[in-house]
Structures are given as structure tokens and as C-alpha cells.
Amino acid sequence: MDKTLLEKFKDTLHTNGMKCTPARLLIFKEVYSSSEHFDADEIYFRMRREKKAVSRATVYRTLDLLVENGFVSRVNVGASQVHFENTLAQEHHEHLVCTQCGKIIEFSDKVIEKQQNLICEEHDFFPTKHNLIIFGLCDKCRKRNN
């Protein structure tokens, strides 16, 4: 994990008058230990397993804090829990979600982005965020089915 990122996080805490606590640092590191999607409970249980337990409430609170400060973003993949991902390196992307095996494929597409902007203009709408999920069957599941 990038050293400067942790420093940036500490700066953010500092400049916002928030305390730099062990719990927050541990959660931050956990969140940046992989580039996969995760939900709050995954972080919670991973940390328990690694004997770095923090309370569930603190996990939720810290994830909110990370989202608000741009270190993490919420991703909607149609699940019942909120999913997150760290914002390291990855630009905005959309998801293909296999409804059979749960596989998630990420993609991004300039044509769609552009077209969205056109549509927003047409409706006098100022876009801040968007979310596109395509549900269906991945190649393996489709083959498996027949």
C-alpha cells in the first residue's frame, strides 16, 4: 500500500479536526489491502480473523468517513448490502453482474458517458454521479446451462 495515501488520510483527519485513532488506521489499511469490492461486514470479519477486531459500529462509521473524504466509493451491484471499493487508481466504471454465479465484470465506456451527458443537457439536469448495472449470464454460466 502506498505510503503517501495513508499520510493523506492522516492529513484529512487532522485538517477536519478528527482524531487519528488505531481503529481508523486499521480499517483504512484493510480497505486498501485489496482492490476488490467489499461490504462492511466483510471488513468487520476479516479484521476479527486477523485479530485486529474493531466494533461493527466503528467499521460502518469509518466507511462513511472514508466515502465522504473520497478514499472509498459506494458501488451498487444490486446486492442487499451496500458495497464499497477503494478509489485507488480506478476510474469510474460500470458493472456486468452474472445473476447465476455472482461474477462481476467491470467496464467503462466513453460512448455511454457522452450520451449520458447529452441526455442530461436535454433535460436541464446537472449530473453528479451515475450507476449502470447490466444483469445477465456470464459466458461460463450460459455454457453450463445447456
Long-range contacts of 87-92 (CB under 8 A, 24+ apart): 88/2, 88/5, 88/32, 88/35, 89/35, 90/35
Does 58 contact DNA by CB under 7 A? yes
Output 24 or 95, the one with its CB closest to DNA. Answer: 24
Least distance between DNA and beta carbon 113 (Å): 27
The verdict on 126 binding a second copy (CB under 8 A) reads yes
Told to check if 132 binds a second copy by CB under 8 A, we report yes
Q: Of 3 and 124, which has the nearer Cβ to a second copy?
A: 124
With H, G, I as helix, E, B as strand and everything else as coil, classify residue 82.
Answer: coil
Q: How far is CA 135 from CA 39, 98, 101, in A?
A: 20, 6, 11
Task: Identify which of residues 14 and 140 has a Cβ nearer to a second copy in the complex.
Answer: 140
Kindly state whether residue 53 participates in binding DNA, applying the rule CB under 7 A: yes
Question: Which C-beta is closer to DNA: that of 81 or that of 117?
Answer: 81
Is 53 an interacting residue with respect to a second copy (CB under 8 A)? no
What lies within 8 Å, CB to CB, of 41 at 6+ separation is 56, 59, 81
